[in-house]
Structure formats: C-alpha cells, structure tokens
Structure 1
Amino acid sequence: MTGWFSLTRLWALFLKEFVQMRRDRITFGMMLGIPIMQLLLFGYAINNDPRDLPAALVATGNDPYTRAIVQALEVSDYYRFTTVNSSAAKADQMLVRGEVAFVVTIPSDLAVRMERQEKPQILVEADATDPAASSAAISALPEIARQAFSRVNMTAPEEQRGLEVVVHRRYNPEAISQYNVVPGLLGVILQLTMVMMTSMALTREYERGTMENLLAMPATPAEIMLGKVLPYLGVGAVQVVVVLVAGRLVFDIPFVGSVGLLFATTIIFVFALVLLGYFISTIAKTQMQAMQITFFFFLPSLLLSGFMFPFRGMPDWAQVLGEIFPLTHFLRVIRGVMLKGAEWPDVAASSYALLAFVLGFAVLALLRFKRTLD
C-alpha cells in the first residue's frame, strides 16, 4: 500500500524533472532567453512613432524662408537631412533605394513669391510603402511650416496662409497597409517554413536511426548538404508563386518591377534560409531542439526586420542588429521591386548581402558537420 499521496515521492519527481530540464541546455536557455529578449526589444527597440527620419533636400535658395523651413523640419525631430542641395534626379534615386524616407523640394523663388503675397508650394515626397513610418511626420508638416514662416514674418502661426505644403505619398498614395504587409508576408512565410523544415534534416536521421546509413554513403559533406536542402528550393518556389498570385488577385497588390529580378533574389533568399536550417540541424540533437532554435531565431528577425514595426523607428543599435537577419534585406528587395519598380542597381546592396548569408551559412554548416555518430 503506497498511499494516496506522498510529499516525498512528489519531491523526488520534482527534483528529477528539474535536473532533466537543466541538462537540456537549449530548452533551459530558451526559457530564460526568450522573455529577456522580448522585454529588451519591446521596451527599447520598438517604436510606433518613428522620428529622426532621413530626408533629402532639393533647394537652391538661401533666403530666410528656406532656412526657416529647413531648420523647423530638423528641430521637429521628424526629419534629418542626410543630403542637402541634392538634384531632383539623385534625390528620387535615393527614395527608390530606401536611403531616405522623404524628399523636400523648396522652389528657388520662394522668398520672391512670399513677398508678392503669392501662394508658393513646397513639395514633400514621402516613401509611403510603410504608411505607419511616415504618417506622423506627414501630419506634422503643415503646422511646422506655419510655425517657421511666422518667425520670419513676425506674425501669428494661424495667420500664415501664404504657403502650401504639397505632400506626395509615393508608391502607396492611399496608404493601404496591405501594400506593405503582403509583400513582407512572403518573406516571413518563407523564413518560418524553410528554416523549420531544413532544421530537422539531420536530427530526423538521428532520431530514426538512419544517420549511420547516411554516413556510410560515399558522399562528401557538401553533397549531403546540397542533397538535403535543394528539394526545399522547389517547395519555396511553389510558396512564392502562391503568395504572389494571391496578393495580386485577392489584395490587388501592385507589381511594377521586374518579375525575373524578384524571382532571382527570392531564390537567393530561400537558399540562405535552407542553409541556415541545415546549420541549425548540425547543432540540435533532437527535432524539438531544432524547432526551439528556429523560433529563437525567428522572433527577433520578425521584430527587427521592419515587417511588424518601422525599421527606421528603432534606435541605431537595434537597426545594426536587424542587419544581421536575411529577412531585413529581403524585405527591402521585394518591396522595392514590387511597389517602387526598383531595378538591379537599386537592390544590388541587399542582394549581395543575401549572397553573403548563403556563403556564410554554407561554411558554418560544413564546419559543423560530423562524419561520426559521436
């Protein structure tokens, strides 16, 4: 008769489970690491009201009105002019490449028109592919302009009616959120499925007891790696077609760029993901551990890539961390090609970064691969 309940047995089972959990270092690390990571990212990195956004200034005048409006825009903390006195063509190219979020064009005869009591226009072109990133800065424009000109004219801001601020929301005039979300969703879906499936490539062999047969084959580590990951490229290609067709037919997402360029960069992105998954499979000992490591990589990538929150709204250190994830660079490519009609020179930097990920993950996976079961 063992009795209905024993605190001694309960304490023994508790200690057994605690010791077993402590021995599983990956699981134990996830339990401690994920809450800390979420706290730091949501507390310090995530910002839904981005400020200090890069802008290009197209202005040849140096009159008091021009200086006042430029100074007022910078003092507002929404705009940071990284390029001053740029040409219209160069500023437009910077907007396409995503190097600036705004292009502010001030006419050279602004002061003359103001003195004639005419109604001059200041053009502000905004990259509206991510409406959340530019909405606050755009909303503040009229008041910023009135405050600036009131200081020059020595009048009250509400009396400033001699200036018109024209806002041109480029690439997404109606600020439709699906234009930003659906293209990015392609990268998120590919990342989750490709990394997770390939992260179980070797751990599945260990758990099924077939790893010894695989090692006995006259194949090099590179051949084994490619044989494991190449089939998933086909799966990724199918996912790309499904998401793009659904985005066009269901959500009416515009596609103004080159289909060939998009597919070429997408294949590079998928190749980087499957190699990352294969690298994870060389670290994990079980499929459960592989899934845990995948989610540990997936969470910060989702938060810091610019998919859920404006990338430029994050502090500098968070943007630097975001650059180490392939998803960050792929989002720039797919949004640039689909919404802006970007060409190869515009997405070359991000494409080369994806190629670097392919090479890096391949080298790491080959270095971690073991020819023995030990």
Structure 2
Amino acid sequence: MNGFSATRVWAVLIKEFKQLTRDRLTYAMILALPVIQLLLFGYAINSEPRHLPTALLVQEDSVFARSILSGLRNSAYFDLVAQARSPSELDELIRRGEVQFAITIPGDFTRRVARGDKAQILVEADATDPSATGPAVAALAALPTQALAGDLKGALAPRLQAKPAFEVVVHRRYNPEAVTAYNIVPGLLGVILSMTLVMMTSLSVTRETERGTMESLLATPVEPIEVMIGKLAPYVLVGLAQTVIILTIAKLLFHVPMLGGWIGLALGIGLFIVGSLALGFLISTAAQSQLQAMQMSFFYILPSILLSGFMFPFRGMPGWAQALGEVIPVTHFLRVVRGALLKGQSLGDMWRELLALLAFVCVVTALAMARYRRTLD
C-alpha cells in the first residue's frame, strides 16, 4: 500500500477544479446563489412595512377630518389610495385585498370632539398577516394626542390636555387574535407543493435521461404532449393528496378558519399543481443530471419562499422586489388560498390571481414543449 502523496492529492484537486468548470450550471449556481441571497435579505426583506394602501370613508368634510388625514400621511405607514362612497364599497376593497386598511371618519365626528362626547374613528385592518399590520396599528396610538393639537385652541384646548380628543377603534379583520398560524399554515400549502412537485418532476425525467431509458421512449412515435401528460399525471394525484392532507391538518390541529370560496380555491389548486409540474418538466429539458435538476429547482424555490409574501410581508418589500414577486406563481396562489380560507372570497374576488396562474401554466407548458427534444444529442 502506497503512502500519502501530496502530488496525487494535487492531481485529484486539479481534476476536480477542471470538472467543476466544465459543469457551468453548477459553477454559476455557486457564484449566483450567495449574491441573490444577499440582495434578497439585504434589500427586499422588511419586517416593518410602511406606505400600506389605505381606503377612506370620510362622512364629513371638516377641519378636524382633514387634520386626521394629514396625521395619517405624516406617519409614513399609510398611503391613502382610495376614497369609498359607502361602507359596502369600503368593505369590498379590504375583502378583495386591494387595501390593507380601511378608515372611517363618521359624520358626527366634529360635533362629538367639540362636546367631548367620546368621538371615535374606525380603523379596519386586513390582519390575515399580523406582521404586516402590527407596526402600523401601533403607530395609531399617537394619533389622538397629536392629530388635532393644532386645531383644539381656546376653550377646546383644556380638553386635549385632560384626555385624548378622540378614540381610535381598531378592528382586526379575518384574524382578530393575530394568530400567526392562520397566515403561515395556508401559505405552507403553496411552498410544499412547489418544493415537492417541481423537484420530483424534474428529477424523475432527468433520471430517465441519465439511465438511458429516455432514449427508448424517444424512439417511439409518442408526441411531446403525450409524453408530458403521461409523465405528469401521476404527480397530479400526489399533489391533490398533499393538498387534502395539509388542509385537513390545518383545520384539525391549527384550527384555521375555512370560510368558503371553494370553487376558486379548487381552480387555483388545479392550476398551481399543473403549472408546478410543467415547470419541473421544463427544468428537466435543460438539466443534464439530477444534481443540476435539483440546483435549478432550488433556484426557483428560494425566491418563491422569500418574495411571495410567505415569510415576510409582501407590501413591506421595495417596488422592484414586489415586481419580481408578482412574476412568481406562488405569490398568486397564496392570495387565492388565504383569500378563500380566511376571507371567504368568491370566484369574482380572485379572478386576477387565477388568470395569473393560468398564464403561468400556458407559458411554462409552451416553453417545455418547445425545448423537448425528440432525439438525444
């Protein structure tokens, strides 16, 4: 038995470096992943979102009402983006997820402030994600003592010193107790389906290429779409089984409310499963080994977790990160799941998200068919 040789170690080391440079995809992943992680965590992740879209229902045009609106703008937590004309319109805006907050200033607000008669404004928060609304709700505590400080003068000034001029009544909708599981557990459905279906499909097809069985399949008169359907159909059942298990556990163990929206939820689940499987098939057409398939799958899964609103508030990210997040199908699927389970959204409320998922399925399927090779190189 030969003794230790530094020369042989050096030879193996050189060989391994050359092999690494030949595998350009792996080399790119090694360099790109740290950069992507640094950018995402450094710039995109923000646990204290500001400039949250807010809708207003102002039932009186008064100096006091305008001062309150100025105080909301100055807090930097609220962006006043919509003016509702009725309580039902305000309710619809927050139920559809178009705004994070809905603020109502009643018609007798000025009269109650002047009389010291328990004046109130109502702030409704979409609390499906407690971390997205917590800091903004906390900032509202200073509003009663500061917003009208410049308006309560003369005889009204002592009232502000004795007690706040009005009260902010906060109504946390859809998750009044701020239970984190109500937000996280439904979101896990999208993350788990992405991790398993995309990776399983890409590895399955790439494994056949490595073992040479794909060559026999390509020698048959099977059309690309037939191969794709035959390969993906079993995994559709896997995805449906996973969905049933996750939703059952969410209800029995975590007591996640399931308010309805079943038709839209079923369509969203079907589109997301098919799209994830088609993406896995597309990855397999580019990967030359199972290792590459796994690396490419992870390259998709990482942004899906960080930029979809699963781990961090979506509206807390900068504009460019939100634009990237809108391209990721998990973002739209999470909105469908949370909207159906926590808000009871109807099919008409979630049509934009379903349309985005349908577009994802069509684009990925078309790309997979275009890249599918009838003969091996």
TM-score for the superposition, normalised by structure 2: 0.96
Q: Counterpart of 1:163?
A: 166
Are 2:355 and 1:356 equivalent residues in the alignment? Answer: no
Are 2:35 and 1:4 equivalent residues in the alignment? Answer: no
CA–CA distance in structure 1, aligned partners of residues 252 and 161 of structure 2:
47
Are 2:199 and 1:200 equivalent residues in the alignment? Answer: no
What SS class does the counterpart of residue 36 from structure 2 fall into? helix
What is the identity, as a one-letter code, of the residue corresponding to 1:14?
Answer: L
Q: Counterpart of 2:51?
A: 52
CA–CA distance in structure 1, aligned partners of residues 32 and 200 of structure 2:
23
Is the contact between residue 194 and residue 270 of structure 1 (CA under 8 Å) also seen in structure 2? yes
Check 1:62–1:11 CA distance in 2 against 1; reply closer, same or farther (3 A cut): same
Q: Counterpart of 1:212?
A: 215
Aligned ranges 1:180-329 → 2 under 5 Å = 180-329=183-332
Unaligned stretches of 5+ residues in structure 1:
none
Deviation at 1:216, TM superposition (A): 1.5
Determine which of 165, 178, 181 is the counterpart of 2:181.
178
What is the identity, as a one-letter code, of the residue corresponding to 1:126?
Answer: A
Deviation at 1:209, TM superposition (A): 1.0
Is the contact between residue 54 and residue 79 of structure 2 (CA under 8 Å) also seen in structure 1? yes
Deviation at 1:114, TM superposition (A): 1.2
Q: Counterpart of 1:35?
A: 34
Deviation at 1:217, TM superposition (A): 1.7
What SS class does the counterpart of residue 150 from structure 2 fall into? helix
CA–CA distance in structure 1, aligned partners of residues 201 and 178 of structure 2:
37
Are 2:130 and 1:153 equivalent residues in the alignment? Answer: no
Is the contact between residue 60 and residue 85 of structure 1 (CA under 8 Å) also seen in structure 2? no
**Number of residue pairs matched?**
373
Deviation at 1:138, TM superposition (A): 0.6
What is the identity, as a one-letter code, of the residue corresponding to 2:321?
Answer: A
User: How large is the RMSD of aligned CA atoms in angstroms?
Assistant: 1.4
Is the contact between residue 315 and residue 322 of structure 2 (CA under 8 Å) also seen in structure 1? yes
What is the identity, as a one-letter code, of the residue corresponding to 2:21?
Answer: R
Q: Counterpart of 2:71?
A: 72
What is the identity, as a one-letter code, of the residue corresponding to 2:347?
Answer: W
Deviation at 1:205, TM superposition (A): 1.2
Deviation at 1:288, TM superposition (A): 1.1
What is the identity, as a one-letter code, of the residue corresponding to 1:275?
Answer: A
CA–CA distance in structure 1, aligned partners of residues 220 and 333 of structure 2:
36
CA–CA distance in structure 2, aligned partners of residues 103 and 159 of structure 1:
29
Is the contact between residue 199 and residue 279 of structure 1 (CA under 8 Å) also seen in structure 2? yes
What is the identity, as a one-letter code, of the residue corresponding to 2:77?
Answer: Y
What SS class does the counterpart of residue 125 from structure 1 fall into? strand
Deviation at 1:3, TM superposition (A): 4.6
What is the identity, as a one-letter code, of the residue corresponding to 1:70?
Answer: L
Superposed CA offset, 1:195-245 (max 9, x none): 001112321111111111111122111111111112111110000100001
What SS class does the counterpart of residue 348 from structure 2 fall into? helix
Is the contact between residue 274 and residue 361 of structure 2 (CA under 8 Å) also seen in structure 1? yes
CA–CA distance in structure 1, aligned partners of residues 230 and 161 of structure 2:
70
Q: Counterpart of 1:340?
A: 343
Deviation at 1:264, TM superposition (A): 2.1
What is the identity, as a one-letter code, of the residue corresponding to 1:47?
Answer: N
TM-score for the superposition, normalised by structure 1: 0.97
CA–CA distance in structure 2, aligned partners of residues 346 and 283 of structure 1:
37
CA–CA distance in structure 2, aligned partners of residues 41 and 152 of structure 1:
44
